Structure 1
Amino acid sequence: MEVRHMSVLLVEDDMSIAIVITAALEAEGFDVKHCQTIEERDRLLSQHTFSAMVTDVMLPDGDGIETIGRVRSLRPDMPVLILSAQNTLDTAVRATDTGAFEYFPKPFDIDELARTVRQAAGNGQGSVHDGDEPLGDGLPLVGRSPAMQSVFRMITRVLRNDLTVLILGESGTGKELVAEAIHQLGNRRTGPFIAVNTAAIPAELIESELFGHEKGAFTGAVARHEGKFEQAAGGTLFLDEIGDMPMQAQTRLLRALQSGTVRRVGGREEIKLDARIIAATNKDLEPEIAAGRFREDLYYRLNVVPISMPPLRDRPEDIEVLARHFLQHAANEGLPKRQLTQEAAELLRKQSWRGNVRELKNFIYRLALLAREDAIDVESIVPLLAADGQGPQTGATAVAGGEVDIDTAVSQWLAAERPADGSIYASAMAAFERPLFAEILKETGGNQLRAAHALGINRNTLRKRLSELEIDPEAFTRRL
């Protein structure tokens, strides 16, 4: 049998892609053998030994992932790298579940692929993951943008271990969905998933909620109470809004993570932890550390594997698929079944969506409820955009990254509204306050106390202005 040193088998139906990959690998010193079908792949593997294999998923005679078992039976130690244009979390997980050395969604960086092939060939072994149990469909995350592909790849890297994960991202980007995906697809999926919003628990109760308490530990403690750490035994504990956790609770959390045990409030027994910890925050924690509001040692204890969720403005190509996804979900939940015209989808793509995926979801559900026709067109969308205080954005009102040019917005508002002389200032303040208050209420989940603190105004002043502007804070308490 022929042995080929530093050789790569490339299984790719698209000749243009195959030519580019072959050139890059040959520049790295590899001898590349190219084929286009699973049948030819198996024949070459039975005749030759390769340092690594690079394969697409969709091939003329079958699914490249589903047939990896045959590859393993022929060459159990050969590293396999998988390419795919089906850029979904399901595909990334399926690829990882085969024990693939790496997964590359298309389009990919050809230099990164070549470097990874060299690394794989140098290792001389296939998998960096363990486990043969197949994982199911029904995954909660949607997106085919490069930014979301990076998220999917990070998720697949933590499924076979219990490393602590810190999910970073703006409010509404879907941080809890990432935590749920890691739980549902990982080793602890048969255990409970316990989510705690640490910002929503009063400071005096947070330790009892997290660590539990003994009977009589404090006034009102009429019975022993198991904390969230104990409730999450065998599963996952998700600590949301960790950046808002009180300092005293941060200290106890750090001790629990360091020791691997917790002690109930008022108790003496050390209870061993048996839960994976995933934390999330919409805050930049480094300035919080510098200001003395967040413990640096806790930050490093939580930030073992960081996953950054991109804001929706950085993934506009995902807006249409998200909108259609939410329309389907709305129909499944009993709302009228609607379709989105291409022109309407393009208008949605141009909006800034400052509340990210959560804002888009709520908007789509409102569209499904209020639209008069089954086909949602531009005319159906514009009034709702205006009601939200943003108005349809076009190339004249949107700038790079989806951010609104405030100078242009003021000029256009004056041209469109032109209040009577003597009322311009009051009218402009009202027009500015409405989207400002809406944005801050979205960030705080409708919590008026936190919103007033963020704005730097008195809570009663905020309440008064919300009433005058007819803004209902309860409308912002819904979560994605």
Structure 2
Amino acid sequence: MPTGTILVADDDAAIRTVLNQALSRAGYTVRLTSNASTLWRWVSSGDGDLVITDVVMPDENIFDVLPRMKKMRPDLPVLVMSAQNTFMTAIKASEKGAYEYLPKPFDLKELTSIVQRALEEPKRRPAVELDDAGEGMPLVGRSPAMQEIYRVLARLMQTDLTVMINGESGTGKELVARALHDYGKRRNGPFVAINMAAIPRDLIEAELFGHEKGAFTGAQNRSSGRFEQADGGTLFLDEIGDMPMEAQTRLLRVLQQGEYTTVGGRTPIKTDVRIVAATNKDLRHLINQGLFREDLYFRLNVVPIRLPPLRERVEDIPDLVRHFFAIVEKEGLPAKQVDQSALNLLRRYRWPGNVRELENLVRRLAALYPQDVISENLLEHELSQPSVSSMEEETAETVNLGGSVERYLAGYFDTFGDALPPPGLYHRILREVEYPLISAALAATRGNQIKAAELLGVNRNTLRKKIRDLDIQVMRSTR
């Protein structure tokens, strides 16, 4: 039977009652208060084995009291609850020394489980104090899915554990990686990012590890790689699923032994970096195809984090819209807001481009429309326009073109009456299909031929030959 005294501090009488009933049934002795001063008196007198407290109290913010509690009684577990369910609340709770952070409303079963674990497990190390350098919000959202991510990130801040972030394009994988760096113990070191899909495959090793003078044609001087640039900080490996096998082997050696050699070099170089990787692909599927090393996967996937697509957290859309409008207003664009009917429409939309698509929409609304309040009718017009994100989705999915192709061919043959078309029909039709298909893929990827080839499922060299043969004009990528 569990034993121990739990000190509960919350100015909401209903929450005090619920916690008292649940914890008493579980076998604990419970003491209740509605203010921080009484809680501090109990703690300073040595009372209680665990504290459960709200953040905003009538007389004092608990984040101002918590450091004093931890200094006086470093082994006392403190569970912090808050209705201010933001990323910064979770981070502050962790950095001020809280054992755990729980967003309101909370699950009673989960809370009692955390209480039991906190009282049974060995006492934790004291937290490292984080400088409170403003209230900037790197991550936005109060949905249950985002709350869980905040809690995971808060636990990881003072570690060097390797993290694998998985999520669709546009969900904010680099924002999560930056948050891990900016609020972690390596925040005073560099944050270096490299996108594997944006670099020619034969140059990735040189980009990662650097190269010596004369290592290959065009290497006229020694060049540092991203590992050297990120020393003492964080290296973010975006689109890790696009890393070629040769580079995977070298990366595995770095993770296993903590050292690497430059391309063309012989002397091992020690490295001190935290690795955060990200992908929008199923790495397990790539492993089965022989395109990704399983041992590297296990080295990278120490702590997996899945970022939900926006369609799975539509309750965050109002906060995100306000956040993006605030950003564009600071950039000099006029202040705007969205009425309730327009917000309802945004919640119903599927968001194939995720948060990035929403941000682009907000910027477009702020820049192009004079209205101070965005209506549903205006949004319907904007969302009906084809976007890069919707083109990506339509091209990537299997589209049933059978009916339209049959109608096209029937009309084509009808133009010749009883006669047959001239020879070479296969290649003429193929050209007429290939040109718009490849053009659409290049438009969807903003001219990125590597991504376009992946989207189409063809070899990159094959795509380049098709572009040349069909005389397709390629738009320069602005990403």
Task: Tell me if both proteins adopt one fold, taking TM over 0.5 as the criterion.
Answer: yes
Could you tell me which amino acid in structure 1 is paired with residue 225 of structure 2?
G
Q: Which residue of 1 aligns with 2:424?
A: none
Hey, what's the Cα distance between the residues in 2 that align with 1:227 and 1:363? 36
Question: What's the CA shift for 1:210?
Answer: 0.4
Question: What's the CA shift for 1:55?
Answer: 0.4
Partner SS for 2:138: coil
Q: Which residue of 1 aligns with 2:102?
A: 104
Specify which of 269, 272, 297 is matched with residue 271 of structure 1. 269
TM-score when scaled to structure 2?
Answer: 0.84
Question: What's the CA shift for 1:388?
Answer: 2.6
Q: Which residue of 2 aligns with 1:123?
A: 121
Q: Which residue of 2 aligns with 1:401?
A: none
Could you tell me which amino acid in structure 1 is paired with residue 217 of structure 2?
T
Q: Does 1:50 align with 2:56?
A: no
Hey, what's the Cα distance between the residues in 2 that align with 1:439 and 1:36? 60
Contact kept, 8 Å, 1:93 with 1:135, in 2: the verdict is: no
Q: Which residue of 1 aligns with 2:316?
A: 318
Cα deviation 1:372-422 (Å, max 9, x = unaligned): 2122111221111111369xxxxxxxxxxxxxxx9xx99xxxxxxxx9xx6
Hey, what's the Cα distance between the residues in 1 that align with 2:442 and 2:291? 21
Question: What's the CA shift for 1:451?
Answer: 2.2
Residues 374 and 153 of structure 1: CA distance in aligned 2, closer, same or farther (over 3 Å)? same
Specify which of 365, 374, 383 is matched with residue 372 of structure 2. 374
Cα deviation 1:125-147 (Å, max 9, x = unaligned): 3x456312334332311111110
Quote the RMSD (CA, aligned, Å).
3.4
Contact kept, 8 Å, 1:389 with 1:434, in 2: the verdict is: no
Specify which of 169, 194, 197 is matched with residue 196 of structure 1. 194
Residues 441 and 180 of structure 1: CA distance in aligned 2, closer, same or farther (over 3 Å)? farther
Residues 124 and 300 of structure 1: CA distance in aligned 2, closer, same or farther (over 3 Å)? closer
Show structure 1 runs of 4+ deviating over 6 A.
422-426, 433-441, 460-464
Contact kept, 8 Å, 1:89 with 1:139, in 2: the verdict is: yes
Name structure 1 gaps, 5 residues minimum: 391-405, 411-418, 427-432
Cα deviation 1:333-368 (Å, max 9, x = unaligned): 222222222222221121110111111111111111
Question: What's the CA shift for 1:478?
Answer: 5.5
Residues 389 and 240 of structure 1: CA distance in aligned 2, closer, same or farther (over 3 Å)? closer
Hey, what's the Cα distance between the residues in 1 that align with 2:437 and 2:52? 50
Q: Which residue of 2 aligns with 1:415?
A: none
Name structure 2 gaps, 5 residues minimum: 389-396, 412-434
Contact kept, 8 Å, 2:159 with 2:185, in 1: the verdict is: yes
Aligned residues: 441
Contact kept, 8 Å, 1:371 with 1:380, in 2: the verdict is: no
Hey, what's the Cα distance between the residues in 1 that align with 2:447 and 2:156? 33
Give identity over the alignment, percent. 49
Q: Which residue of 1 aligns with 2:451?
A: 450
Could you tell me which amino acid in structure 2 is paired with residue 131 of structure 1?
V
Contact kept, 8 Å, 2:342 with 2:379, in 1: the verdict is: yes
Residues 447 and 41 of structure 1: CA distance in aligned 2, closer, same or farther (over 3 Å)? same
Partner SS for 1:306: strand
Hey, what's the Cα distance between the residues in 1 that align with 2:36 and 2:305? 35
Contact kept, 8 Å, 1:441 with 1:448, in 2: the verdict is: no
Question: What's the CA shift for 1:302?
Answer: 0.6
Residues 323 and 438 of structure 1: CA distance in aligned 2, closer, same or farther (over 3 Å)? farther
Residues 74 and 186 of structure 1: CA distance in aligned 2, closer, same or farther (over 3 Å)? closer
Question: What's the CA shift for 1:161?
Answer: 1.4
Residues 436 and 112 of structure 1: CA distance in aligned 2, closer, same or farther (over 3 Å)? farther
Could you tell me which amino acid in structure 2 is paired with residue 133 of structure 1?
L
Hey, what's the Cα distance between the residues in 2 that align with 1:215 and 1:251? 23
Hey, what's the Cα distance between the residues in 2 that align with 1:434 and 1:317? 38
Contact kept, 8 Å, 1:190 with 1:235, in 2: the verdict is: yes
Could you tell me which amino acid in structure 2 is paired with residue 130 of structure 1?
A
Contact kept, 8 Å, 1:216 with 1:223, in 2: the verdict is: yes
Residues 461 and 328 of structure 1: CA distance in aligned 2, closer, same or farther (over 3 Å)? farther
Specify which of 182, 187, 211 is matched with residue 180 of structure 2. 182
Q: Which residue of 1 aligns with 2:391?
A: none
Question: What's the CA shift for 1:148?
Answer: 0.6
Q: Which residue of 2 aligns with 1:134?
A: 131
Q: Which residue of 1 aligns with 2:12?
A: 14
Contact kept, 8 Å, 1:355 with 1:439, in 2: the verdict is: no
Question: What's the CA shift for 1:327?
Answer: 1.0
Cα deviation 1:195-248 (Å, max 9, x = unaligned): 000111111111111001111111111001111000111111100000110011
Question: What's the CA shift for 1:273?
Answer: 0.5
Residues 261 and 94 of structure 1: CA distance in aligned 2, closer, same or farther (over 3 Å)? same
Q: Which residue of 1 aligns with 2:299?
A: 301
Partner SS for 2:165: strand
Hey, what's the Cα distance between the residues in 1 that align with 2:186 and 2:440? 38
Could you tell me which amino acid in structure 2 is paired with residue 201 of structure 1?
I
Cα deviation 1:44-89 (Å, max 9, x = unaligned): 3344521100001111222122211332355332110101111111
Hey, what's the Cα distance between the residues in 2 that align with 1:382 and 1:472? 31
Residues 258 and 460 of structure 1: CA distance in aligned 2, closer, same or farther (over 3 Å)? closer
TM-score when scaled to structure 1?
Answer: 0.84
Contact kept, 8 Å, 2:170 with 2:357, in 1: the verdict is: yes
Question: What's the CA shift for 1:250?
Answer: 0.5
Cα deviation 1:62-120 (Å, max 9, x = unaligned): 21222113323553321101011111111011100111111111222211110111111
Q: Which residue of 2 aligns with 1:60?
A: 58
Q: In terms of Rg, which structure is larger?
A: 2
- Larger mean CA deviation between 146-155 and 374-383 belongs to 374-383
Residues 310 and 98 of structure 1: CA distance in aligned 2, closer, same or farther (over 3 Å)? same
Hey, what's the Cα distance between the residues in 2 that align with 1:72 and 1:211? 43
Q: Which residue of 1 aligns with 2:279?
A: 281
Contact kept, 8 Å, 2:442 with 2:474, in 1: the verdict is: no
Hey, what's the Cα distance between the residues in 2 that align with 1:111 and 1:17? 15
Residues 157 and 326 of structure 1: CA distance in aligned 2, closer, same or farther (over 3 Å)? same
Hey, what's the Cα distance between the residues in 2 that align with 1:438 and 1:169? 24
Cα deviation 1:239-281 (Å, max 9, x = unaligned): 0000110011101110111110110111111110011111100
Hey, what's the Cα distance between the residues in 1 that align with 2:474 and 2:34? 59
